[in-house]
Amino acid sequence: MEPDFKEGDQVLVSTLNFNNLKGPKKMRDSFVGPFTIIRLIGKNAVEVKLTEDFSRKHPVFPLSLVKPYFQTEEDKFPSRKKNSTPPDIVEVEDSPGPVSKIIRARKIRINGKDQRQYL
């Protein structure tokens, strides 16, 4: 079920077909925006007002490549309740205590350096 969009709504656009973005594909944002919907084109596409950075892109996108933009977490999850009090702070001991017996030891290489691990 596609979300209902109307003119003036803010949306994020998928970067799936954007080939000229900088950086490795794994590190790029999945969606860019927000952009404002200028008009609806049929039932399956929207025309958005693109920013200067994306002015060379065609401004019409299918609904499968856009998603609604939420400014805050409260807008995205209206039924979520906020915690009014912070959680209690629990003191944790830094060290488990003195070593009574070494059962086993092994030598491993981490980042090109030999290190010993004890059990």
Q: Provide the residue ranges of all domains of the chain, joining segments of one domain with +.
A: 10-70
Q: pLDDT per residue over 17-53, tens digit each?
A: 887 777 787 888 889 889 999 999 988 999 999 988 8
pTM (global) more than 0.75: no
Among residues 8, 108, 107, 12, which one has the least CA distance to residue 68? 12
One of 1.20.58, 3.40.1620, 2.30.30, 2.60.120 is the CATH number of 10-70, namely 2.30.30
pLDDT band at 119 (very low <50, low <70, confident <90, very high): confident
Q: pLDDT per residue over 94-105, tens digit each?
A: 666 777 888 888
Among residues 46, 52, 14, 50, which one has the least CA distance to residue 35? 50
Cα separation, 34 vs 51, whole angstroms: 9
Structure tokens at 90: 């629990």
Cα separation, 5 vs 12, whole angstroms: 12
SS3 76: helix
SS3 22: coil
